[in-house]
Chain A
């Protein structure tokens, strides 16, 4: 063995014992191989043979070194070892697994040297083989440890993400969503599901799953024998390692594990406290996740799983508190809003309707309000309605006992029935069907009872309001209904009272008309400050005071002075306004005065209407205003109309007041020929309409409806129009139909024209007398002149006039005893 090229140093260090070089070769602590350049083994030592189990004869001359390698090793040998050796003449520490005789593998490290001949041609390869078994397993261990560390890191990372998600999840549902996604990335689970504990309902409810085809999704009572309920009860992690284990402990899991091909199930309680403080921890839910194949979880993993359970539990706890707080806040806001919006409506029916509309759909999908007050109220909203056969007994129960009826879980009634009470009296019931997650909870009950209290109070107040309003209306009606003078043909009075829009109390407007003596009529319209019963009562007192104070020789000014003294004693009447007038029915003279009241509107038989703006002074008992009471006289010719009214007729938010006066005057004039009955109502309708915010009171006096009208006019064609106008007013006042009226006006006009053109053809100062009378069935007009009559036939044009008189009247007579009198008569009906 003198292959070594270098100096033989060992010769200098002779060992104290004789070491046989052959033995050293054969039993060296490493294997030796010598091969030809093609790898054929030509020499091998004993150590190598012992390690590999081959015999020398099997190897030498028969096998190449590469033949002893596994297939991967052979490729490595060809691609790395051989080229490297040829290039460098040596290779170091190449790792090969040598396939032993018994087919086991021996991890080795190989060093080789290529020796060359004189011509540098390869001659032999010398190889040492070191046993690397120990080293390999160490390496493996290192590798394994690194992988474990990486897995753990990944798990921690996944968990960190989940914890971050949990912290950001504000609601229970969102926490559940975050938790249920954890086990797959963290532990390689196949699927997971989350169950939450509902303490109020004593149930465990499945809320979410990554694979809803697995598992049983029915709600279960907390006392259920099912695995989830048991684990929730114990509050400790449970790993079901195999189907066999499941069969033993939790048979309910077996079917599902089989069906979905799961072999390992982890049931993790989600708890509020840390792992070491068992006392006081509460299980809020259970996370169940499962693996295909039996999966052993290491201690490390189990620690992390428990940690996840705690993190999730705390997040749930926080979300629950947050949910509760938010719901409480919502409820408080709802109650406040409800009280406020109910207060906006005063009357019972609208208020009842609004309550039902508030409740549906905000907190219930169906609601029914039944009240025994206000003539019975039934307001319903939403649907579908529950079984009436069940509802009615529940309502009776709630009313009798005056306690709410909360249905138990599974009760077919399915709605709460709240008795509404106020001042110790049950007004009725409010029944509601709430969304499922809203029923039953204790906090919810407290909320509903609060709602019922508020609703009861609001409805009772509306009932009281309604009652007072009704009383005030009745009082007002009875006062206004007092007898007004009628049956005197010299005048007619028409009145109208219109209450303010639905939601307002009665006002203090009033009207009155009475006879001071047989020829003197008094009329008044006034307005007391304020609303409701007080205003109605005051109005009654003031009205009586006027009747008592008016008298012969008193007159409007002195009457107002007396009223000023009256309001010093009746304080509620202070600042009331009054328009007061007296009419002498013989002379047709009006005397009027206004104490802070709007001016009367006067319509003469001819011309446009005018507001009577004289004799104005301050409201009754005014402390700052002008209390010098004066009165104004004004002739009222036959056919005149006088309108007294309160400010509700004129004042509208959408219209300036002067515009109101203008419209009133125009409309009053337009109805000059309209019959008196219905006139005041029509005016109120037109000027005020439906959206009136104030009471309206009108009184219209019509004068000159005497049986007989007598007029004298000069022989002046320009005066015919004036006559027609007065005659028209008189006919209207008698309710003569339009056709008849037009016919009489035409005939009369023609007769007067005849008198002017013929009778007084030569006498411009002649006078014509016209007398009209009306009876129950006919109108008669006489037109008299004292001129000369020459016979109409001489004038074709006048002939047409006579023809018109004959055509338009039923009877026409000519009396020529003293001048000419044309007597015309027409039946009041149709011709």
Chain B
């Protein structure tokens, strides 16, 4: 069960994946599977990490694979991570692609227009 960390909804015409809580080695794999099962190909995907309180390298690995996979299938995507916080710190420390990071949902949606 990954419901406590991940939920799905829509934001405008984009699919919205909201992650919350601590994402680490223990749950990253399962969360990744849940997301891949739910997302459709094509269109737009927003992944909201603003309420993620911890993100480790396993979490980064998950996001890295996920974003790479989506882009390869022509799905445009953005990660919403807020200005500060644990997720932002981890992504920055491992030099995650800045071009897919945004600070809030509205802006992310606008960038995908």
Chain A residues with a Cβ under 8 A of chain B: 717-718, 720-721, 724, 739, 742-743, 745-746, 749-750, 753, 756-757, 797-798, 800-801, 803-804, 807-808
The answer for the CA separation of A753 and B94 in the assembled complex, in Å, is 16
Inter-chain CA distance A724–B25, complex, in Å, is: 13
Give B57's nearest chain A residue, CB to CB. Answer: A801
A718 to B58, CA, bound (A): 13
A804 and B55 CA atoms in complex are apart in Å by: 11
Docked Cα-Cα span, A743 to B88, in Å, equals 11
Are B89 and A720 touching (Cβ within 8 A)?
no
Query: Most chain-B CB neighbours within 10 Å: which of A720, A724, A742, A757?
Result: A742
Do A808 and B93 contact each other (CB < 8 Å), given the known contacts A721-B26, A800-B60?
yes
0 or 1 for each of B80-97: is its CB under 8 Å from A? (1 = yes): 000001100110011000
A-B contacts, 21 listed (Cβ < 8 Å): A717-B26, A718-B26, A720-B26, A721-B22, A721-B26, A742-B85, A742-B89, A745-B86, A746-B54, A746-B86, A746-B93, A749-B24, A749-B25, A749-B54, A749-B56, A797-B57, A797-B58, A797-B61, A800-B94, A803-B57, A804-B57
- Near A by CB (< 8 A), chain B positions 4-27 give 22, 24-26
Name the B residues within 8 Å of A750 (CB-CB). Answer: 56-57
Would A753 and B57 count as touching, CB distance under 8 A?
yes
B61 in contact with A753 (CB, 8 Å): no
Contact of A746 among B25, B26, B61, B89 (CB under 8 A): B89
Distance to closest chain B CB from A672 (angstroms):
11
Residue pair B93, A753 in contact (C-beta under 8 Å):
no
Which residues from A are CB-within-8-Å of B93? 746, 803-804, 807-808
Residues of chain A lying within 8 A (CB to CB) of residue B58: 753, 797
A-B contact count (CB 8 A): 62
Beyond A717-B25, A721-B26, A753-B24, is A803–B94 a contact (Cβ under 8 Å)?
Answer: yes
How far in angstroms is the closest Cβ of chain B from A365?
59
Q: Which residues of B contact A739 (CB under 8 A)?
A: 89
> Does B54 lie within 8 Å of A804, measured CB to CB?
no
User: Could you list 8 further interchain pairs (A-B, Cβ under 8 angstroms) beyond the known A746-B56, A804-B93, A807-B93?
Assistant: A717-B26, A721-B26, A724-B22, A746-B86, A797-B57, A803-B93, A804-B60, A804-B94
Measuring CB to CB, which residues of chain B are less than 8 angstroms from any residue of chain A?
22, 24-26, 54, 56-58, 60-61, 85-86, 89-90, 93-94
**A757, B25: Cβ atoms closer than 8 Å:** yes
Please measure, in the bound complex, the distance between the C-alpha atom of A720 and the C-alpha atom of B25, giving whole angstroms: 8
Bound-state CA distance A717–B25 (Å) is: 6
Assembled-state Cα–Cα distance A739/B93 (Å): 13
- Which of chain B's residues have a CB closer than 8 A to the CB of A803? 57, 93-94
Q: Please judge, given known A-B contacts A724-B54, A797-B57, whether A804 and B26 are in contact too, CB under 8 Å.
A: no
Residues on A with C-beta less than 8 A from B60 are 800, 804
Q: Are A720 and B24 in contact (CB under 8 A)?
A: yes
User: Within 8 Å CB of A721, what residues of B?
Assistant: 22, 24, 26
Check if A753 sits within 8 Å of B90, measured CB to CB. no
Write the nearest CB–CB distance from B57 to chain A, whole angstroms.
4
Interface centre among A718, A739, A749, A808 (most CB of B within 10 A): A749
**Chain B hits for A801, CB < 8 A:** 56-57
Q: Which residue of B lies closest to A743 (CB)?
A: B89
Closest approach, in angstroms, between the C-beta of A494 and any C-beta of chain B?
24
Q: Is the CB of B94 within 8 A of A807?
A: yes
CB-based nearest B residue for A798? B57
Q: Which residues of A contact B25 (CB under 8 A)?
A: 717, 720, 749, 753, 756-757
A808 to chain B: closest residue by CB: B93
Whose C-beta in chain A lies nearest to the C-beta of B88? A742
**Minimum distance in angstroms from B86 CB to a CB of chain A:** 5
- A797, B86: Cα distance in complex, Å: 19
